[in-house]
Amino acid sequence: MESYGPLLEKTRVPQPGLQKLAVESIFSKLRSAPKHLDPESEPGRRAIFLCLTSPSPHVVDHSVRLLCRLAADSVVPVARASLELQAALEGSDPKLVPVFVKGLGFLARHEFRNNASSHSASSHTHPFVRDYRKLIFIVEHMVEAYIVVLKSLAGMKSQLITEAQLCAVEFLETVLSLSTCLQWHPGGHEPVCELFMRLLTVQKDIGLAWLPGLSSTIVSLFIIIVQSELEHEQISILKLLLLILKWKYDS
- DSSP for 16-77, written as a single string: HHHHHHHHHHHHHHHHH--GGGSTTSHHHHHHHHHHHT-S-HHHHHHHHHHHHHHHHTTSS-
Residue type, 134: K
What confidence tier does 171 reach under pLDDT thresholds 50, 70, 90? confident
- The set of residues, in sequence order, having a beta carbon less than 8 Å from that of 217 and lying 6+ positions away, is 169, 172, 173, 176, 244
pLDDT at residue 148 is higher than 60 = yes
pLDDT at residue 63 is higher than 50 = yes
Q: Tell me the C-alpha distance between 64 and 52, whole Å.
A: 7
- pLDDT for 121: 43
Listed in sequence order, the DSSP H helices in 73-189 are 78-90, 97-117, 127-130, 132-153, 159-176, 179-182
What confidence tier does 114 reach under pLDDT thresholds 50, 70, 90? confident
CA distances from 93 to 35, 53, 99, 122 (A): 33, 9, 11, 45
DSSP state of 207: T
pLDDT at residue 117 is higher than 60 = no
72: part of which helix (H) or strand (E)? helix 57-72
56: part of which helix (H) or strand (E)? none
Q: Tell me the C-alpha distance between 197 and 199, whole Å.
A: 6
- pLDDT for 188: 64
Judge whether 85 and 63 are in contact, CB under 8 Å.
Answer: no
Mean pLDDT, the chain, as a whole number?
82
Higher per-residue confidence, 125 vs 194: 194
Give Dmax (Cα) for the chain.
61
For residue 4, the tally of other CB atoms under 10 A from its CB is 22
pLDDT at residue 184 is higher than 60 = no
- The set of residues, in sequence order, having a beta carbon less than 8 Å from that of 160 and lying 6+ positions away, is 97, 98, 153
Query: Nearest Cα to 230, choosing from 195, 179, 196?
Result: 179
What confidence tier does 136 reach under pLDDT thresholds 50, 70, 90? confident
- The set of residues, in sequence order, having a beta carbon less than 8 Å from that of 130 and lying 6+ positions away, is none
Judge whether 100 and 92 are in contact, CB under 8 Å.
Answer: yes
What confidence tier does 23 reach under pLDDT thresholds 50, 70, 90? very high
User: Exposure of 29 by Cβ count < 10 A (0-12 exposed, 13-18 middle, 19+ buried)?
Assistant: middle
Query: What's the chain's length in residues?
Result: 251
- pLDDT for 126: 46
What confidence tier does 181 reach under pLDDT thresholds 50, 70, 90? low
What confidence tier does 131 reach under pLDDT thresholds 50, 70, 90? low
